[in-house]
Structure 1
Amino acid sequence: MRVALFVSCLVDLFRPSVGFAAVRLLENLGAEVVVPEAQTCCGQPAYNNGDFASARELARPLIDTLADFEHVVVPSGSCAGMLVKHYPELFQDDPLWHARAENLARRTRELSAFLAEHGGGQAIDARFDGRVALHDSCSARRELGIHDAPRVLLDRVAGLVRVELAEAETCCGFGGTFCVKYPDISARMVSDKAAAVIDSGAEVLVSGDLGCLMNVAGRLKRLDSPVRVYHLAELLAGMTDAAAIGEPDKP
Structure 2
Amino acid sequence: MRIAVFATCLVETAFPQAAIATVRLLERLGHEVDVPAGQACCGQMHVNTGYAAQAVPVIRNHVRAFAPVLDGAWDAIVAPSGSCVGSTRHQQASAARRAGDETLAVAAERVAAHTYELSELLVDVLGVTDVGASFPRTVTYHPTCHSLRLLHVGDRPARLLRAVEGLELIDLPEAESCCGFGGTFALKNAETSSAMVADKASSIVATGAQVVTAGDWSCLMNISGALSRSGTGVHAVHLAEILASTREHPWAPA
Same fold (TM over 0.5): yes
Question: Aligned residue for 2:95?
Answer: 90
Letter in 1 for 2:179: C
Question: Aligned residue for 2:28?
Answer: 28
Deviations 1:135-155 (A, max 9, x none): 111011111111211001001
* TM-score, structure 1 normalization: 0.93
Give the unaligned 5+ runs of structure 1: 244-248
Letter in 2 for 1:242: A
Question: Aligned residue for 2:219?
Answer: 212
Match of 1:75 among 80, 83, 100: 80
Contact 2:4 2:36 in 1 (8 A): yes
Question: After the TM superposition, which of the residue ranges 26-35 and 44-53 deviates more from structure 2?
Answer: 26-35
Contact 1:234 1:240 in 2 (8 A): no
Match of 1:187 among 194, 201, 210: 194
Question: Aligned residue for 1:237?
Answer: 244
CA distance in 1 between partners of 2:61 and 2:250 (Å) = 35
Question: Aligned residue for 1:17?
Answer: 17
Question: Aligned residue for 1:120?
Answer: 128
CA distance in 1 between partners of 2:96 and 2:12 (Å) = 27
Structure 2 residue 157 is the aligned partner of structure 1 residue 150: yes
Structure 2 residue 63 is the aligned partner of structure 1 residue 63: yes
Determine helix, strand or coil for the equivalent of 1:205: strand
CA distance in 2 between partners of 1:105 and 1:126 (Å) = 29
Contact 1:41 1:58 in 2 (8 A): yes
CA distance in 1 between partners of 2:120 and 2:237 (Å) = 18
1:88–1:240 distance in 2 versus 1, CA, 3 Å: farther
CA distance in 1 between partners of 2:207 and 2:9 (Å) = 31
Question: After the TM superposition, which of the residue ranges 54-63 and 91-100 deviates more from structure 2?
Answer: 91-100
Alignment of 1:128-143 (within 5 A): 128-143=135-150
For residue 240 of structure 1, report the CA deviation from its aligned partner. Answer: 5.6
Give the unaligned 5+ runs of structure 2: 70-74
Question: Aligned residue for 1:3?
Answer: 3
For residue 28 of structure 1, report the CA deviation from its aligned partner. Answer: 2.7
For residue 120 of structure 1, report the CA deviation from its aligned partner. Answer: 2.8
For residue 114 of structure 1, report the CA deviation from its aligned partner. Answer: 0.6
For residue 230 of structure 1, report the CA deviation from its aligned partner. Answer: 0.5
Question: Aligned residue for 1:246?
Answer: none
For residue 206 of structure 1, report the CA deviation from its aligned partner. Answer: 0.5
Q: Percent identity?
A: 42
